[in-house]
Structure 1
Amino acid sequence: MDAKQNLFFVPILLFFLCFSTTCHFSFGADSISAYRSLSGDRTIVSSGGNFELGFFKPGKLSKYYIGMWFKKVSAQTVVWVANREKPVTDKYSSELKLVDGNLVLYEKGTEIWSTDTKLKSSSVVAVLLDEGNLVLRNGSSNTTVWQSWDYPTDTWFPGGYLSYDKRTNRTQIPTSWKNSEDPAPGLYTLEIDPIGHQFLIRWNRSRQIWTSGAWNGQIFTNVPEIASGSIFNFTYISNNHGDYLTYFFANSSAYIISRSVMDYNGQIKQFGWLPDQQKWSLFWSEPNTQCQVNAYCGAYGVCNDIFSPLCNCLPGFKSRFEKSWTSGDYSGGCQRYMELESGNAYTTGRKADIFQIHSHMKWPDNPQAFSAVNAERCKSNCLSNISCTAYAYYEKACFTWNGDLFNMQQLSVDDSNGRVIYIRIHSSGSSKNNKGIIYGVVGGSIAILSVLLLIAFRRHKSGIATVIERAAEGTMVAFGYKDLQTATKNFSEMLGKGGFGSVYKGTLPDSTVIAVKKLEGVSQGEKQFRNEISTIGNIQHINLVHLRGFCSQGNKKLLVYEYASNGSLDSHLFNPKKDESILPWTRRYEIALGTARGLVYLHENCRDCIIHCDIKPENILLDSFMCPKVADFGLAKLVGRNFSRVLTTMRGTRGYLAPEWISGGAITAKADVYSFGMMLFEFVSGRRNSEQTRDGKVNFFPAIAANVIMGRGDILTILDPNLNQVADVEEVTNICRVACWCIQENEHVRPTMSQIVQILEGVVDVDMPPDPRGLQVFIDNEDDIVFFTDKASSSNLHIQSDPAWASSFVEEQYTNKKTQGSKIQECESD
């Protein structure tokens, strides 16, 4: 056979080989026409390769669906399902095709699903767009007659929308999957509320379990992070036609694989794909805690959103659907081992039901209250009513519950909201349960012993450390010290060191990369530490580093954070290793804005105002999208209210401390504003504020910038030389003006972080700032000038014109000063 014959037969051979093996066919096109259809493994792919459409089988189910998924994501992530209520059993005997202008799914000739467009046209074509939208277009007019965005499953894309059309009374309602493996409609929906100009999460299409709060023209009042995130811009429009909510990438030139999901666990979540780590990263979620989701643990389930598992059955109860329960679907709830019997115990002769006491609980929903002489009378009242399932006696009032109990939560012993409740069970239910417990203890002991022997054997053979249980999404994990020691290879790779401790890189057994901070000087007890951690762990914002877990064993206190692949901001500002590491001005501006938004959330949107106390470039981390994330927030609370040790350690990063640290005044959120302002100057210059030249002189950049701002020079001449004066003059001017306002000696003159965000967003203008008194010494080049007044001694402090000496003097004054008690003022958000 000659070469020409080989060239002829090779394609034919490959063709037949495809049918002898399992091959995946794609049309190499983004559309289905009247002459093409989808069946078996055939798919279509959007023109830019972002999305793919075809048959898929979720999880372990044996049924198939027509769906859309991300083409460029390694783990198949389905974002839209056509026939979610009617799956097919065989994808090879099923076909998706166009019939008389309709896109129809057939299985063995039977219609399963249809777009029901009723166009009756042969020129219609189905096109899969790169935005994740499947559309039907009339070829003759090229108009869109149907689109999948109008019929969302559980996912909402950038550019997509939630809407309510007043003319047709029609809404787009993303509905959760039934569970992680079943795309059938679940219990939770995301809906527009045109009356309140907000969006809601509803349970079972009836009960509202969460609201975004009203749109005020810039943000939703309860979700500032989604309107103030540095990656997306949200827009809400309300007019005579209806209400319309959408979001887009803030940087139109960037494309990030992202999705917003109405999750089957009742939370709306926004994810971004991390290509370097090959996993989804959670940007934000609402409600913040899982236990806030209505009926998440089902009837008689008790929720605990700090530790795994999230849901447990009460003693005397067992999971109603064991298979679903073990897979993480708790909605089925729990049931008694022995059901209650009707009839009065005194007349039937059976033993009376008993009540089990449960302390530190959040009560179930819908109690009935009435006055009672004592707890015994309250108990008798419940016992006499067969439908009464629980009672509580509190402050001379009796509370009873009839029917199933929902939304119970186990609280910590220090939580003042914890109450005592008595749950009713059958008189023999406890003994049966105890018998089961005995069997369970014996069997469990044997199993545990076997596991321990196996672990010991494996450690002996290969030195494998204890496997770290992977955190359930959205929950915190209590790690063992040895686990983190293994994950970090005995803390061998240090990422950085700060006033609160050192940070090390680690890797969990599931290949998740983490950052582990070893805290120094933590004097809190176990319970207090865990309570503080639970508070910080529940704080989620796109511009705040996410806390994954912690370790607390004796004096060993460690925090486990998400890993930011692009490191800290200082490495990009001050020590760029290559040209690609140099941050362009547009990126610096975005990072400044994102950092400000994160601080707004800490100062104004948390239950308690959280003052960072250590804002500096080292504590601003950058993820794979170069999105800024404020790190170490809340650590000031963890190490205690005496900051002298921390500030003494901060000598290496001097120059960010507000004057009130030295003057003895109360420390408020305005101390963070001062530090932020000093950091803004470094965004402009690309170097430390205080820098010594080769001839021994010291340049203090804030003084130089203030001098230029007052009209004594060209603003671009003070820009980082690496930028080659490529920057927006108005933006550079605004940042320098904001920075000068931030570092005013009088904290009442400084703006709030929310005002700073409005300025950087261009919503409001910034006026010419007064000369900062602390910089006047450098601007006027005087030898001796008042820097600030020491309120404690009522004497004026004088600082020489050497900025390095000034910084040392300030720190020395603080170190020598003996202040008593806390300097932080706790503040409640509005």
Structure 2
Amino acid sequence: MAALGFLLFIFISTYLVPQTYCQVGSLGPASSASLSTIWTCRVPDIGGYEQAVDPWLLRPLTIPGHLGLSFGAGFYCISPCDTFIFGVYAIYTGDPSLYSDPNEYELVVRGLVVWSANHDRQVRQDATLNFTGDGDLVLRDADGSLVWSSNTSGRSVIGVNMTESGNLVLFDHHNMTVWQSFDYPVDSLLPGQRLLAGQSLTPNISSASMTGSNQFYFTIRPDGIYAFAGYLEPRLYYRNTNPRFVPYLGIGRYAYMTLMNGSLAVANSASGDEADKIYLLQRSQSLQCLRFESDGHLRLYEWMDTQWQVVQDILELEQCDYPSVCGDYGICFSGQCSCPMASSTSGTYFRQLDDHKPSLGCILDTPISCQHKEDHQLIQVHNVSYFSYIDQTAGVLTDEESCKQACLGNCSCRAALYHYHKTASNGSCLLVSEVLSLQVLSLVGSSPGSAFLKVQIAHPKKRGVLPYTLGGVTAALVLFATVFAILRCRRNEEEANEDEFSDLPGMPTRFTFQSLQVATKDFSSKIGEGGFGSVFKGVLGDQLVAVKHLHQAAQGTKEFLAEVQTIGSLHHINLVRLIGFCTEKAHRLLVYEYMPRGSLDRWIYYGDNKALLDWHTRHKIIANIAKGLSYLHEDCRQRIVHLDIKPQNILLDDNFDAKVADFGLSKIIDRDKSRVVTRMRGTPGYMAPEWLTSQITEKVDVYSFGVVVMEIICGRKNLDYSQPEGSIQLINLLQEKAKNGKLEDMIDKNSEDMNIHMEEVLEMINLAIWCLQSDSSRRPAISLVVKVMEGERQVETNLEFNFFDLSALNAVPVGEPNLSTLPITSVLSTPR
């Protein structure tokens, strides 16, 4: 039974005790029960039955008269068996030779429920199933309330039996079927059973509870088959409209789907045509069963080796395409689940429902209340879609701001999903009142989209101010005096700290702000700019320098100086050298050596630039980057992870020797730790998949390195919207070419020299693929990359072609940019 996992249920035994004419177990497979028979649901008096797992003890209404696999009907439950469902299940009767009691083997069975009468309303112990004298099959709860009926009273029914195909049938004097379970499918289809147009399959009961929530449903329409998800607003997540389907209109003309041995077919019963085999299945001589389950999958089961096994997943969607793969509010990326990562000053807005089971989803820390609409706010999650919701463009066409305001103005709205249209100035807006799983957009050519999740700001409880009125003025005066004293003391302490650090050996040169103003001619020659600040060209004596003026002081002076000392201690030929620094009041400046040829992106995103880099130069640049990173990761006293490897942070000297820059704004990992937890940072297009977990290692740099290698080889950006639709994302294009064995298509078409050295270039592409493995544990250490480039080691051959960049996914509160959680360990200099 382990092979069925969460899909099969732990059934505990029940006795169906006949109160009139029928003795339990006396009916064979095509025999019938007499009218006026009552069966009562009773839990067997077996010690410790709540823990019983395998074998299951079932006492069916109809037991096969032979050893092997057949069907039975009866009550079943999940431990501790406080509620029950009446249904039909496939059963396997054990070998009687294995049991001392010759009747005991009839109880040892394994079942798969294929139909149930009351999956949405369970009954309790002592519930009854009554085959009435006028031919009605009636299920009543223990208190006598009506739960379900076949509604066959007065229709000449004389008996009930179980067919060999698993069909529970009520028949009349002419042995004609009056009612059958096959006409009312719940979640399963057996061979020969039909799902008619307009009927649906809904999950029966989950393995976790017997609530029968039926969040999903699968149905057939005249033009194809469809699957929907959602309690309140069903959303389409699967559609198969076979070209051979045509609308079947008119009385007596309807479409149906049926399971046959070897295929799943859709046909028109009135046309007489052969059914359209929309799926070819695994042929088998054993029993098969199609089952639509509580996770939205449509699975084909087959009886093999005395147990049910899944042999095919019919819908064949990617894991993140399913609406409940990560539960409500969960974000799915490469099969991993996480919560939106926004936070407030008092904590996070979202948390896992169960820290040990991320797939169960996320919940809001503060429930949304319509009585406090003024406290509602939207959290933006970039580059996501609503699972595989097919009608993404079916929402109202509008602009983003109007979409957000529409959700804020509607209390029942829990999220606004906005998708941009490339050919228009607006986009489609979808408002949802329940938030199912989201997934990170990774498909080539997908329209950019965002989810705006509604949260409620929690306010601290207000205290009465009356008792403190008299002391208020006094407290304010005391507070003012205290703050003044602290500021004065801190200023004196910072001045003392500055003197203390200026005497430390190995400390970079300390410059005054005025001297750097002069060196840069009052910061007049800007050579670069980013989120961290601006870079200016300057001259100190006869030395050219690059002066980086940080936008704001994110730390105290002592912390900044301590980290400058760490940066200044890094000396490697492939790292840009830090010459000095300045800290005066709010000013924070870093002085680096000047790199005359600028950043790498100027030479590989050449555009109209005809000065193409030859293969020897590109190979040297790649090797230089790897050696610089290897020093940061493995040769420093403190292990440093760069976190933002990209061509803009690779600088070139006169000889095109590459040096890694901006490592001073990175993350330190202590030698006794394998990873650190930090908030997401970096540049979209270069971010490794594990950023979703916020638990990162130096392998995030290896992934980014792999992206840069591909950009150098291809001569283009990773994300380039000027490219044709199928080539916008370089890494996805690489994935496609790798799977099709066409890696040579990735080589820069403008470089004849690259094509001359094609064998070496292809080996470098394989090295990049090794670095781009989605599973960080399968990526090489950067020192191993260096050995490969020096010919001491071969590239790993057993590689997976499942990799793509993690685009901007930080959840940012709209209109409130300062709510990000602080990193657990210190950040060198300042966040990027």
Give the TM-score range, shorter chain: 0.3 to 0.5
Structure index of larger Rg: 2
